[in-house]
Structure 1
């Protein structure tokens, strides 16, 4: 079996790594891939951007690719699945219509309201002045969201009205792309959690819940990022809560999408806010595997990944046996370039990867490039994942491996998993 993975981040490296652990997978290609995928055995990077649909389509035809797995949200939102399906290629990832669930926060909010999915009160504005007036009437704290895709950085939790107004101005000035309009939401309190599920448009199979660390600073302070670390399974998502999320959120969303004529096959990812009393609301939906959640979830998955992805594409997920998981826990620490999520430098030589992997941890590359040396090529550079019988072991292994890695101005949070240390997990 030959698989093409579209994307260049840590998520895509983790997907390629997991696929290659199966004897059924003969070869993986990554478009464009990164320094880590370039070094995987039986894996080849392609000089094709995620938006080069013609190039990707030609390659899949000429090389008899059995399955394309789309990692990032941008090509999904632009319609890569529709394009490849027209030439008869099997693609894991929703169509352009389905990808609206992430590409447009306003569209997703309307879908949640139609499906009666619990979510924050929100209002949509096409003009900055009206949005600012609304903020004044509601007060702070309040949440300001760019409507379009913003790589996880288009959300501002404004503690003051002035901060909310600044965020509104930044969105309408194009700081987060061509958002067009802004979504203003009530500020929810509690802990965030990520629930990713595989679906073939009819059946839902949730993966292990995960808990990300979005803020750049320790103690969950500072700016939002694409994610600075994650652990799984998240104890805050109890089996009872997961059953409720599956019924009230995941199944409701898929049923409502189907009612709209959207055949959604891929990952449906619900970002939750869980209150101290155990109630939850959906903050957002994403249309793809999470990053860095994937880097913690896939090392615990025992069911062959390609079997699950093909079952989704071929709409036979209901026939698959229950997902099998390793016992214990996983923790992923993201190593970033100094200055991220703001301005940062590229081209810094990275050393110590072999020593880090010798500890037994997995080092998933995100912003790296292999030239003569391995160098940094992005804001989030690496995701270092440790697994163990409990969180204590998993977190300790991840940091042991991180301490082997060196590059100029590297930065990472030293408190990943602080909420779950000393908690044993049995799944």
Structure 2
């Protein structure tokens, strides 16, 4: 099977490495890729958000399966264009991708499916902002109703900060979603979904804030770990039964059946799981940790999902132990990152590339905000953390920063449900 992966981040690098270990996958392509991905797949140029261009490339390389990594191409209908051309695609239709592309749509689906989530209100008129803010608090959750790459959310006890963020979004023409605050630790659960067939992967936890101890602004994700030693037994099954399966069934009922990876971001409180948000694709950086422990052939799983035969697949197999992913970010991220700095040590084992490029002289340089993900695995979370940070110590990137506490609260037993 020849597989084309669309995307250029560490998520796609992780997908490609897992696909490369599947004996059924004979050749790998990636577009547009990055400097590290070029070592595992043939890298091609493409406008990833333009359906006809992706279709043309898929035909040119003879792809038996196309895996769309990022959310923007999915929301813009790239999967639809591929399917219309008779090419198997792992990724939902534009209609189903609204579960991420429009938080208002996701709320409507959850309400119809009876899924617990935060109380919310859409504000699309600045004149109504202050009265709406008064109906929330003392913790304000302010979100961009559309796609924001994980950085359109402000959670704060400062009403003025909440108002400033909301006003900025409205000024830029973006409707604002105000939500009640959901208490409890967060969980990311990825599920392969083929209509009403739901197959969960290992649960993970992302670290969104830029600094240690969850300080600073939200980012696209600074690190993740799996599994979650503090998560009560049976929680994954409960999340599937109470959250993912009802949403998948509701999408089918609406004629928008989901095919691909449905990612439930949840808060686990005393009353059980409640949805923070849904995403329509593999999450970054959780994918890097989760796939490090997957033993089942990934190509076979993705192809089965894309072709409507997921229900026929055997139970997933996982390596024992734990995995940790730590993100190395460029100077000034999550603001405008500094780029063009030479990176040393980025070709080592366990290092996945995100914002990287190769200069004409062969040097690997930074080319984005989140530059690398460093992966560690071990018999338990402590051992996985140790390996990740040992590997990270050998990497040099001027001005870069990373969190030192990925998975630490779980190791120390500080997370409770």
Mark yes or no: TM-score above 0.5. Answer: yes
Cα distance, 1:162–1:422 mapped onto 2, change above 3 Å:
closer
1:242 aligns with 2:236: yes
- Structure 1 gaps, min length 5: none
- Residue equivalent to 1:271: 265
Helix, strand or coil at the partner of 1:411 = coil
Q: CA deviation at 1:53?
A: 2.3
Q: Tell me the alpha carbon deviations over residues 138-195 of structure 1, each in whole angstroms, 9 at most, x when there is no partner.
A: 3331111100000001111121211111011111122xxx53x111101122211101
1:192 aligns with 2:186: yes
Say if 2:24 and 2:300, in contact at 8 Å, map to a contact too. Answer: no
Structure-1 separation of matches of 2:255 and 2:226: 34
Deviates more, 1:153-162 or 1:232-241: 232-241
Structure-2 separation of matches of 1:97 and 1:172: 25
- Residue equivalent to 1:48: 46
- Residue equivalent to 2:382: 392
- Residue equivalent to 1:68: 66
Q: CA deviation at 1:303?
A: 0.3
Q: CA deviation at 1:66?
A: 0.3
Deviates more, 1:149-158 or 1:67-76: 149-158
- Structure 2 gaps, min length 5: none
- Residue equivalent to 1:152: 150
- Residue equivalent to 2:207: 213
Say if 2:51 and 2:77, in contact at 8 Å, map to a contact too. Answer: no
TM-score (norm 2): 0.96
Counterparts in 2 of 1:242-321, with a 5 A limit? 242-275=236-269, 277=270, 279-321=272-314
- Residue equivalent to 1:363: 351
Aligned residues: 411
Cα distance, 1:162–1:57 mapped onto 2, change above 3 Å:
same
Structure-2 separation of matches of 1:66 and 1:237: 38
Helix, strand or coil at the partner of 1:14 = helix
Structure-2 separation of matches of 1:115 and 1:383: 36
Q: CA deviation at 1:422?
A: 6.0
- Residue equivalent to 2:221: 227
Say if 1:13 and 1:36, in contact at 8 Å, map to a contact too. Answer: yes
1:327 aligns with 2:320: yes
Structure-2 separation of matches of 1:51 and 1:280: 33
- Residue equivalent to 2:93: 95
Q: CA deviation at 1:403?
A: 0.2
Say if 2:219 and 2:334, in contact at 8 Å, map to a contact too. Answer: yes
TM-score (norm 1): 0.94
Structure-2 separation of matches of 1:397 and 1:129: 52
Helix, strand or coil at the partner of 2:410 = coil
1:8 aligns with 2:8: yes
Helix, strand or coil at the partner of 1:247 = helix
Say if 1:144 and 1:182, in contact at 8 Å, map to a contact too. Answer: yes
Q: Tell me the alpha carbon deviations over residues 329-367 of structure 1, each in whole angstroms, 9 at most, x when there is no partner.
A: 00000000011001221111000124x42xxxx111111
- Residue equivalent to 1:24: 24
Q: CA deviation at 1:278?
A: 6.0
Structure-2 separation of matches of 1:19 and 1:219: 34
Structure-2 separation of matches of 1:51 and 1:212: 26
Deviates more, 1:15-24 or 1:377-386: 15-24
- Alignment RMSD: 1.2
1:405 aligns with 2:403: no
Q: Tell me the alpha carbon deviations over residues 190-228 of structure 1, each in whole angstroms, 9 at most, x when there is no partner.
A: 211101100111210000000010000100111000100
Helix, strand or coil at the partner of 2:308 = coil
Q: CA deviation at 1:317?
A: 1.2
Q: CA deviation at 1:49?
A: 2.4
- Residue equivalent to 2:134: 136
Helix, strand or coil at the partner of 1:166 = helix
Helix, strand or coil at the partner of 1:231 = strand
Structure-2 separation of matches of 1:88 and 1:38: 27
Aligned counterpart in structure 1 of residue 109 of structure 2, from 108, 111, 120: 111
Structure-2 separation of matches of 1:302 and 1:138: 45
